[in-house]
Structure 1
Amino acid sequence: MALPTGEITLDMEPSGGSLQPTIITHSIARTNHYTRSGGNPSSSTEPIPTQHSNPGQKLEVNLDDYLPLYRAASRGNWEEARKFLDTHPNSERAKISNSSMTALHVAACEGHSEFVEKLVKRVPADVLEMLDGIGYTALHYAAIGGNLRSAKALLGKNPKLTQRLDSAGRTALLLAATFASENKELVWYLLLVTKREKPGLPSTGPLAANLVNVLIASGFPEISLYLVKEYPNLATETDQEVCTPLDVLARNKSNFLSGSRLGSWESCIYPFLPVEVDCGPPHSVRASVARHESVQSDPSEQYRVHWLRRMLFGAIKRIARAGFMRLHDAKLRHHCAVELLRQICLQLSQEQVKSDILEIAATNGIVEFIRTLVEFFPDLMWFILSKDRYLLLPFAIEFRHENLFRIVCGKTARSKLIASTLLKSESGGTILHLAAKLAPLPQLSSVSCPALQMQRELQWFKVVEKLVHPYYKDNLNKKGETARELFTKEHKELAQRGEKWLKDTSNSCMLVATLIATVVFAAAFTVPGGNDNDGSPNLLRKNSSTFMVFVVSDAIALFASLTSLLMFLSILTARYAEEDFLQSLPRRLMIGLASLFFAIASMMVAFGATIVLVLNNRFNWVSITITSLATCLVALFAMLQLPLFIQMVRSTFGQSIFRPENIDNSMDLCKKDA
């Protein structure tokens, strides 16, 4: 079935000193010029009429004639396209779609970089500057698709493409920053090759502020930092939506460590990853630019990292390159975001720090943002809203931002005055009523299980309760509820889910502990090798050391499994009061899991010793294989349960939420480079 042909009427209007096509009408015209060749468009050897673009001229284009080229470009089939181009002169600049796309537009849009490279070699440089009906060049499509290879090919042929604007006045650089957040190297490359000239003016033009804000929102604070250092005025510029870089930073918490969620192992590795904020493009990008524009990189700009740390980091990258590099890139992004914030603050005055920016940062819990602002504008620590409500402390409590809570609460006069502030909200009450509310879902889900979530909520309530004067603890809100009554009401469902989770976990673990106790108890009376007439084990005299390993490990497995059984049984028979979730139930669960782990490990040791005794060193490879498999099973159990166990230990016996931090010391940590 042939595609419907379209009659495309173009109006060439001057825009920015160049002719810009504007689609006026689209109509359907079934005029198949190729039917004289048997209906096969590829068999036509007649030259296709050249499409002229004089002002005011209406063009009638038969799109069916270009259908083979369209198909070849969209599929990346260069051989088919080359045959068509050889037999149809001037078809490389023909508009082959209803949206006035050329073959180069189609290939770049579909991401066929090899096709683009080959087509670029045979077309004139001016063809690369052609706009389609949407108002994009081929470079714009390559930038949107994040195709660095196509972008290099296009700019190698025509470097002026970086200055070519789309119908909305955007450069390829701005489109890449907006749509190609997965390809940082492409954004760096376009930034370096785009000249600061008209009509683009990416760093000083009307859309310069948009570029910085989009880079921050796309997760490229290091590129924004580079721009702000080159053009300090961009730190305070507003985009078309009246947003400054400070606004965007406050809304994008993933650019900061406090707004990122790290796993258990990532949290352990993160502090030791070396990063160096050099505020410049990577060496690979500099090399690419140097090949196209003869821009030589400065050999003095090297990472100054201690040789031992670099060697260790290199070894780590070889072991698990993908995971560690992702974590390293995240840490670099966090450091660059803080440095970018500092550069912005250098250009700001206190009057420019709007209240809503601080409110957004406090809501998102971006501690680095608050620390840096307070460093430059210390008076913000006393920030009061028009309703005489202190801003930071209620937000830290309501949204459960632990680090922010530690900063604003301390033993200073300022902190005590802040903590004694009553809430002037619609619901009434004190800050203890805020702690009594259920935590927001993102903060609640950061804890692994309902039981620990309930424990965390109780810890928050207890900590805030210490800050409130005893005279205010029994204050009522507008619904006539005390903070304790509100806590019970808000957390009723969470307590029920925590109880169900603990009982289900205990039942499952009790089954395993019972099986282990049964097996090891029976093994104590049916020792390997049997007994002699006096009842003594036959293998006791032949291999006494290995036999003792069997006896001791079997006894440890029995006692550990029984201990685990008792702990889980005590969980099943607990009363499940709110206070039990704070210490009692988590401790029992920890003891039960630890005992179960020792029971499994001891049972595997007893099993390995039994194999050695039975085989009597005749098949060593069998003993080694079975022992290795047993070790793997124990290690697997530890890996699966260790994260939960560590989280329970930290939550129950770790440092309290209330650990006041000196704001000056916390800012030093913020500025410290790994």
Structure 2
Amino acid sequence: MALITTGGSPSSSATDDIEQLEVNLNNYQELYRAALKGNWKEAKGFLDRNPDAVKARISSLKMTALHVAACEGHSEFVENIVALMPAGELAQLDDLGYTALHYAAIGGSLRSAKALLAANSTLTQVVDSEGRTPLLLAASLGSESKELVWYLLLVTTDEKPGQPFTGPRAAYLINVFIASGLHEISLYLLEKHPHLATAIDHQDNNCTPLFILARNQSNFLSGSRLGFWETRIYQFLPVEVNYRPPRSVRAYVGGHESAQDELRTPTSAQNKGQVLHGLRRLLCGAIKPIASARFRKLQDAKLRHHFAVELVQQICKQISKKNVSERLDYLLKLEILNTATVNGTTEILRILLNFFPDLIWVRFSNNRFLVLTYAIEHRHENLFRMVCDKTARNKLMASAVLEPRETILHLAAKLPPLSQLSSISGAALQMQRELQWFKVVENLVHPYFKEYPNTNLETARELFTKEHKELAERGEKWLKDTSNSCMLVATLIATVVFAAAFTVPGGNDNSGAPNLLPKNSSTFMVFVVSDAIALFASLTSLLMFLSILTARYAEEDFLQSLPRRLILGLASLFYAIASIMVAFGTTIDLVLNNRFSWVSVTVTSLATCLVTLFAMLQLPLFIQMVQSTFGQSIFRPENIGNSMDLCKKDA
């Protein structure tokens, strides 16, 4: 063991103490190794020879064998050694300031925690060197074991010295629960201790529960980046909401909760559509055994989103009990409103506006209103829908001159944050979306402000061209590269199907008529039609991609012209690939079906798989382009009153 000194040499008595400590620790090396490995048989033999060693300090950090085993997660070892130790000794702290229960909480070992608390129930109130209870450590470092967190929450009381629910660490506790994604546990805790909903953690930059929710965008659907297929599956996933601790955990603490301890159950409004919900549950139950980890993760995410909305509701109920000035101070000075707006957390803002409608008039720095300016600057479509209609309020917001000397149209002319820009695939589609933003904001502002210059004497249109010059160049390159690749495929298909039209299966007779036509007229016609479709579709695709290569690539072309050509080109290419597979399948059927009947089935299956694979790979991008180009505008107005009603339904 190394000795670090600050100067001079240690005294002889200090040296003797250190040497004696090393000798004592060496005596316990066998027990130490057994505790590290969880080898109870070896440890039991040592303890039989040295009964007092059960409570001895066996490491330089003054750990007991119980500390070591709990730290390493050896639950069976912990159970056995707890049976040999006096109850009072279980509360010993090592030099790191932890009890064995602290280590069990950090490691997420429910079995060890149960054994320790069965022997000494007061361990839940013992704090470490920083004043943290085992519950707080489990929430912050052992949150992957949700059952353990539930268990410690149910058995922990609000007594000194810990006072986890009313003491100086209470605000940190609820914040850690929320940050760890333990939203249902947070709801349970707020039901028991409502004051925690607005608690402020002064030791951690004045963090509040609502700020923690707003900071992590993945707590809500609006901030979750779901893929194409995930978005479709998400809508149909059932959510099994349980507002109480798991039954298994309640059994650990001595039975069921009383009626007054139970949280509210879903209301009748939430129980509507029970037939549909039942079908979803049935379908989900059938898929679950074979579902991938991603599917289960998606279902967990939907449940987390539901609980997060419930948390915001409960927090806002507590905020509403404050007077008007206290509400504004709480929401503005603690960065709650600003964070939710910048992150585009629609769920939080809808609920806040439902409880406190006057917040819509709040201005941030630089004369910026709550929703409109931040929605445009950060490209949050759902927020913009709340204020893109032409009410008197929104007209006033749209006509405000921001500092330094710019309008909301200048905000739309600037490049958005990279995180928002990269959410769209392909530089060309990114450029299209930017043009859509600029056009819709341009329609919102008064004509006077369209030519309003900023401090650099640039109009919004000039600023847009300058800011998006590089993006337009990348969009042009992306379109040309895509067109070149697709043209090669289309050319190959056209060449093959053109040749197949003159070399039909089975050959021709002396008059030029196909030999197989009289015998298999229907199958032969399928070949002819599919071959013709493949030829026309591939040539159409070729022309569309050629027109993209020869386009002028002006800014306005990215809005409609170029995306339409790309959509038609990809659609034609898909039809060409599908048709050539049909032509190939019918050719095999015509030539070999009479001798090998299984061939046609095999070839058809393989061709179907190939076409399906192509569709699955290209369909998400294709649908995104179609929706963006031909679909209903993503900037359609959504009245704030309707948003509030929707928020009530979601809650």
Q: Which residue of 1 aligns with 2:510?
A: 533
Unaligned 5+ runs, structure 2? 5-12
Indicate conservation of the 8 Å contact 1:420/1:467, yes or no: no
Q: Tell me which of 96, 121, 138 is aligned to 2:58.
A: 96
Question: Structure 2 CA distance, aligned partners of 1:608 and 1:581?
Answer: 39
| TM-score, normalisation: structure 1 | 0.86
Whether the 8 Å CA contact 1:276–1:673 is kept in 2: the answer is no
The secondary structure found in structure 2 opposite 1:539 is: coil
Q: Output the CA distance in 1 between the equivalents of 2:3 and 2:128.
A: 24
> Cα–Cα, structure 1 residues 79 and 655, in superposed 2: closer, same or farther, change >3 Å?
farther
Q: For the structure 1 residues 66 and 451, does the alpha-carbon distance in structure 2 shift closer, same or farther, using more than 3 Å as the test? A: farther
Question: CA 1:150/1:548 → structure 2, altered by over 3 Å: closer, same or farther?
Answer: farther
Tell whether 2:207 aligns with 1:243: yes
- Structural mapping, 1:406-425, within 5 Å: 406-423=385-402, 425=403
Q: Does 1:344 align with 2:321?
A: no
Superposition pairs for residues 252-651 of structure 1, below 5 Å?
252-275=216-239, 277-281=241-245, 285-295=246-256, 306-320=277-291, 322-348=293-319, 349=322, 350-351=324-325, 352-353=327-328, 354-355=331-332, 356-385=335-364, 388-423=367-402, 425-426=403-404, 428-651=405-628
Aligned-residue offset at 1:439: 0.7
Deviation at 1:218, TM superposition (A): 1.7
Instruction: Spell out, residue by residue over 1:469-512, the C-alpha distance to the aligned partner (whole angstroms, 9 max, x if none).
Output: 11111111111211111111111111111111111111111111
Q: Does 1:131 align with 2:65?
A: no
Distance in 2 of aligned mates of 1:182 and 1:291 = 19
Q: Residue 526 of structure 1: SS of its match in structure 2?
A: coil
Describe the SS at the equivalent of 2:501. Answer: helix
Task: Select between 262-271 and 285-294 the one with higher mean Cα deviation.
Answer: 285-294
| Larger mean Cα displacement after TM superposition, 263-272 or 161-170 | 263-272
Q: 1:454, CA displacement in angstroms?
A: 1.0
Residues 550-592 of structure 1: CA deviation (Å, up to 9, x unaligned)? 1111111111111111111111111111111111111111111
- The structure-2 alpha-carbon separation of the partners of 1:563 and 1:77, relative to structure 1 and needing over 3 Å to count, comes to farther
Find the aligned partners of 2:583 and 2:365 in 1 and give their Cα distance. 71
What residue is the counterpart of 2:639 in the other structure?
662
State the Cα distance separating 1:196 from its structure 2 match.
3.0
Identity, in percent, stands at: 70
Q: Could you tell me which residue of structure 2 aligns to residue 21 of structure 1?
A: none
Q: 1:193 touches 1:289 (CA, 8 Å); kept in 2?
A: no
Give yes or no for contact 1:287–1:297 (8 Å, CA) kept in 2: no
Change (3 A) 1:83 1:525: farther
Matched position secondary structure for 1:201: coil
Equivalent residues in 2 for 1:172-211, closer than 5 Å: 172-211=134-173
Report the equivalent of 1:15.
none
Deviation >6 Å, runs of 4+:
25-30, 297-303
Alpha-carbon offset, residue 85 of structure 1: 3.7
* Number of the residue aligned with 2:10: none
Query: Residue 214 of structure 1: CA displacement?
Result: 1.3
CA distance 1:62–1:273, shift in 2 (3 Å): same
**CA displacement at 1:457 relative to structure 2:** 0.9
Q: CA RMSD in A?
A: 2.7
Q: Any idea what SS the aligned residue of 1:95 has?
A: coil
The letter for the 1-side match of 2:298 is L
Q: Distance in 2 between matches of 1:232 and 1:399?
A: 34
| Residue-by-residue CA offset, 1:153-188 (whole Å, 9 max, x unaligned) | 333443322222111111111111112333333222
The alignment's TM-score, normalised by the length of structure 2, stands at: 0.89
C-alpha offsets along residues 11-59 of structure 1, whole Å, 9 cap, x if unaligned?
xxxxxxxxxxxxxx9989885x9xxxxxxxxxxxxxxxxxxxxxxxxx6
Q: Any conservation in 2 of the 1:396–1:404 contact (CA below 8 Å)?
A: yes
Q: CA deviation at 1:79?
A: 4.1
Mean CA deviation greater in 629-638 or 150-159:
150-159
Give CA deviations for 1:327-350 in whole Å, capped at 9, x if unaligned. 222222222222222222222233
More moved, 184-193 vs 582-591: 184-193
SS at match of 1:672: helix
Residue segments in structure 1 that go unaligned for 5+ positions in a row? 8-24, 34-58
Counterparts of 1:341 and 1:572, CA distance in 2: 51
Residue deviations 1:303-343 (CA, integer Å, cap 9, x gap): 76553343233234344263333222222222222222222
Amino acid of the residue matched to residue 120 of structure 2? N
Q: 2:211 is aligned with what amino acid?
A: D
DSSP-derived class of the 2:286 partner: helix
For this pair of structures, how many residues does the alignment match? 623
Aligned residue type for 2:217: K
